[in-house]
Structure 1
Amino acid sequence: MPSLPSKPYIVQKYGGTSIGKLLPTITSSIIPSYLPTSRLAIICSARSSTLKAQGTTSLLLDAVQLATSQPWESGRVERVIAGICEDHVRAAQEAVAGRSAELLSEVRGEIERDCEGLRGLLRATAMLGEISERTTDRVLAVGETLACRIVAAALRSEDTRELIEPCVKGLDAAVVILDDIVQQAYGDSPSHDLHQRFKDHPSAFLRGLTDAIALKVAASPAQIPVITGFFGAMPGSLIQSVSRGYSDLCAALCAIALSASELQIWKEVDGIFTADPRKIKAARLLATVTTDEAAELTYYGSEVIHPLTIEQIDDAGIPLRLKNVMNPQGDGTIIFPSTRSSSAGSGRSTPERRVAGGSESPSVSDKTSFMVANGYYGPNQCRRTPTAVTVKESVKVLNIRSHGTTSPQAFLCLVSNTLEQHDIVVDLISSSQQMLSLAVCAQKQKKLNRAIEKLESIGQVSVLENMSIVSVIGHKMRNMVGVGAEIFSALATARVNIYLISQGASEINISFVVSAQDAQLAMQVVHTNVMKIPLHAERETAFAKGPWLY
């Protein structure tokens, strides 16, 4: 298949459960459908045959824990490695499905070599009784490498002669491994220097990896690079510094590196809804949200996308589309960069560019027209209702009354420092002359108890248990005249008691705390009376059962 550099890149990221359960759909249908009009780069998470908690990454973390706590002779680590190897060999056999014995032998050998290398790392770890951050990254990177080998083999074995070229059987795909990309980008800088640079400026540090990623992909001889979603070794280890959403972030960095026209993240739901459809039956699929809205939804309880991913695509101006592997013809939800372009107020209409797979890849002018038409900018923005409502559960409210021996500024500083020392994140805050009310996550119970003990030396502390934060999200909500009054009037009519209210300067959300037992009712009241979506509305689109965004 000849190189077609004039085609735009689309970067597609597939999650572990999609690769584990829906690989034939991905490699036989979705990916080939985009190739006539686009170049593709595929990002893979580690496989999960069933649940994410039972996936390869979780098994590798278990193996690390066992290697540092159990003698090697117990055989427990060996059994985990053998299980991972057998699972991936079996998946490779299903992916190739008898179409090429030579290809199957090749990929089986690669899987077994990867697992043998994993065995060596973990055996050395067991002998030492401890593991470094760099070695942890090397262990976890095996999961994404194994997934990529299976996806690349499946693509190479596909009979795509009718879809692509009559004389070509199989797609030209190859694995691209990014586990040394940080070292390539930053050389042999001391680890403590890298750690500090990442801590001080995480977005800039990550953006610094894109040139190295571009070179790595360019060095691949294949038309379709199948890229590991694990990149490292990051300072402090990737999973500690970025968390489990690192493959989404990797996809964003690849999209920037390749100057992609669009980043697609494929899941098993249709996109982002106006509310969690498991709780609000009338929830509707959103055609678009801004990156600001997506970031707020992520922070206040909805699993949209990793915050660093959102920041990267926003800075680069690349739209991100969430799509459903089980409904590839659906348009999904586009997350548009929030920064207003120079022509955003013009409302000029431009032709839409339709790409294979049934969705549109918007140009900047397309994006501008779409944002104006949907009330984000232009003369009609004041008429836009809120975009979504979400709930963050497992919350406690701390009410701290000062003893009166310090100034309000010093009191606030003492409380903030105490919470920071105990790694307690404050979600919402309300203050008066001698009183602070804080909404905090209730899951770090031991740390929170220690923090409360320290706070009692600063002031009188009372705790409200079993609370939830309800957040009403909408771009430029400050322009929605009276929306706050509308929200709280509707809640008062429904007899929902509110314990804390916060509206930040970001203009993006109004959040309030209610008792956990009232959270469902509060969401429904806002969804029906403020967002104007009827209680028994017909769903605009079908969606898969499961979490509303993941």
Structure 2
Amino acid sequence: MTIRPESKPWVVQKYGGTSLGKLLDEVCGTIIPSYLEKYNVAVICSALSGTTKSSGTTSLLLDCLQCAEVVGMESIGCIEAAIDSIRDAHLDKLHSFQAYSSNTSDFPLNETVVSVVNDCEEIRKFLLAAQVVGDLSPRTKDRVLSLGERLACKVVAAALTIKEGIPARVINLDNIVAEVFGRSLPDQEAEFERLGTGFYHQLAVKIGSIVSESTDAVPIITGFFGLMPNSLLRCVGRGYSDLCGAMCAAGLTAIEYQIWKEVDGIFTADPRKVPSARVLATVTAEEAAELTFFGSEVIHPFTMEQLYKSGIVLRLKNVLSPSGSGTVIYPSAPETDRQVNGTVQERPTGVIFMLSNGYHGQSQSRRRPTAITSKEGLTLINVACNRTTKSQSFLASVFSQLERNGLVPDLVTTSERNVSLAIQASNDFVIGNKLVLDLQKFGSVSFVLFLLFTADLL
């Protein structure tokens, strides 16, 4: 029996920039097509990365933003070179599809090429204009960074359409926040403060409705999801595409959310440092959050919140080994039946699976350690309050400075007039960010770098 596309369950797949940059053929030629027979597939794209993270699209755009805030010919040259590099990298990908493009299908390829060039030139003009002023607002910076995801989606859609003959459509979520909460920035900020995580739940509903409008083409969705109040980077951070995928999965009531990387899943330790480390078949959502906090680049913390609320399974998979089972994370919330397109489906409970992997009881507690992870380069900062500062305002002022510098302490100890902070940053970083000078407004400051790494045993 042929299953109509609209009756298929949804699977959401998020691909990182390295996978799209180096393994595009595997993603578009093998992995996505293998799921389309049984599922509707929604694809979330991060910005393409190069051979190193520093040469990736997002890193180059961040360099552009720094240059745009400094007046001078050197800064102009930096912007020009970075945008040229971004444009050429994406055009090289598109030109590699030329061999698969017949005379009748030249138009989609040419149209994509023109679109990529236009997007890059628009951002170039924008940055050069901003460079004259020497200042960029946080939300304006977000708009510049969105270029990476937009270009990546166009390349992936072209690869599916031209090389594989699979219809694909690009969905740009640049304006999703304005569509849900209106264009007034004060109104957006008020709703963000009032709703908390519910802000993302409302975005998820809207994303789901947009993606599910048509199942005739594979939706290729930007991991960048709009100009958030106070900036997407400030609200979420660089892992925002993980959260975008989770919101998409929640909005579509997907049966599974997959994050594809170049590793088999979550390991018991860093395999680069511990050769005997093995892949974990499953961990709890709480353990995944702990691993992320203690230095492992697993998933964005907000991602688990979305999946927990929606009861959606998360699976970490390897682009280089698509047939592997990866690491599965079942939602900690109680499992119940749900309706998908009017059909009641049973959600996989995972109880027996987790029990067989050492997790017991309703709390899913584990009787032995799960994994070891570490953070290197911890700096201990001690701040002693001066006599002119009130103790209650002293603590608020210290943490306000950390917020401004984008630093989250791993460990905090306080007394009435002293605070000690352990942060993952080098001494050079602390000095370079003028953090010491900022903190010296409130008291005397000393700091020391730990040469040894700390480890957390889960």
User: Could you say which TM-score interval applies, normalised by the shorter chain?
Assistant: 0.7 to 0.9
Deviation digits for residues 449-508 of structure 1, max 9, x if unmatched?
457757867xx98967435332111xxxxxxxxxxxxxxxxxxxxxxxxxxxxxxxxxxx
Which residue of structure 1 lines up, in the alignment, with residue 342 of structure 2? Answer: none
Distance 1:226 1:425, change over 3 A: closer
Aligned residue runs from structure 1 range 113-512, under 5 A: 113-159=118-164, 170-189=165-184, 191-195=185-189, 197-198=191-192, 201-219=195-213, 222-341=216-335, 364-378=347-361, 384-397=367-380, 416-423=395-402, 425-429=408-412, 439-443=422-426, 445-446=430-431, 449-450=436-437, 453=440, 465-473=450-458
Match of 1:501 in 2: none
Query: How far does the alpha carbon of each residue in 1:411-431 deviate from its partner, in whole angstroms, 9 at most, with x for none?
Result: 7x6774353133164323568
Deviation (angstroms), 1:210: 1.5
In 1, are the aligned partners of 2:17 and 2:47 still within 8 Å (CA)? Answer: yes
Contact 2:68 2:79 (8 Å CA) reproduced? yes
Alpha-carbon deviations, 1:212-262, whole Å to 9, x = none?
Answer: 212322345742101111111111222232111111111111111111111
> Corresponding residue for 2:341?
none
Relative distance call for 1:187 and 1:3 in structure 2 (3 A) is farther
User: Do the aligned residues in 1 keep the contact of 2:45 with 2:221 (CA within 8 Å)?
Assistant: yes
Distance in 1 between the 2:449 and 2:79 partners? 44
- Cα pair 1:96 1:154 within 8 Å, conserved: no
Give, in whole Å, the separation in 2 of the partners of 1:185 and 1:86. Answer: 35
**Paired-residue identity, %:** 45
> TM-score, normalising length from structure 1?
0.71
Deviation at 1:123, TM superposition (A): 3.6
RMSD: 3.3
1:109 aligns with 2:103: no
Cα separation, 2, equivalents of 1:84 and 1:280: 36
Deviations 1:293-325 (A, max 9, x none): 011111111111111112211222111111111
- TM-score, normalised with respect to structure 2: 0.84
| Equivalent residues of 1:14, 1:266 under 8 A apart | yes
Structure 2 counterpart of 1:53:
54
Distance 1:271 1:363 in 2: 25
Displacement of 1:376 in angstroms is 2.6
Distance 1:329 1:466 in 2: 40
CA 1:129–1:100: 2 relative to 1, 3 Å: farther
Letter in 1 for 2:238: R
Could you say which structure has the larger radius of gyration? Answer: 1
- Give the Cα–Cα distance (whole angstroms) in 2 for the partners of residues 461 and 78 of structure 1: 41
Matched, 1:92 2:84: no
Distance 1:249 1:336, change over 3 A: same
Match of 1:77 in 2: 79
Q: Which runs of 5+ in 2 are unaligned?
A: 338-344
One-letter amino acid matched to 1:289: V
Contact 1:418 1:454 in 2 (8 A): no
Q: Distance in 2 between matches of 1:112 and 1:463?
A: 48
- TM-aligned CA deviation for residue 271 of structure 1: 0.8
Query: Which residue identity lines up with residue 419 of structure 1 in the other structure?
Result: V
User: Which deviates more, 280-289 or 333-342?
Assistant: 333-342
Give the 3-state SS of the residue equivalent to 2:224 in structure 1.
Answer: coil
Moved more, 69-78 or 93-102: 69-78
1:438 deviates by 5.2
Which has the larger displacement, 444-453 or 135-144?
A: 444-453
State the distance in 1 between where 2:65 and 2:435 align: 28
Secondary structure class of the residue paired with 2:378: strand
Report the 3-state secondary structure (helix = DSSP H, G, I; strand = E; otherwise coil) of the residue aligned with 2:12.
strand
Residue 483 of structure 1 corresponds to none
The amino acid of 1:394's aligned partner reads: G
CA distance in 1 between partners of 2:423 and 2:44 (Å)? 35
Whole-angstrom CA distance in 2 between matches of 1:40 and 1:311: 22
Q: Provide the rounded CA distance (Å) in 1 between the counterparts of 2:70 and 2:201.
A: 37
Instruction: List gaps (5 residues or longer) in structure 1.
Output: 160-169, 344-361, 474-550
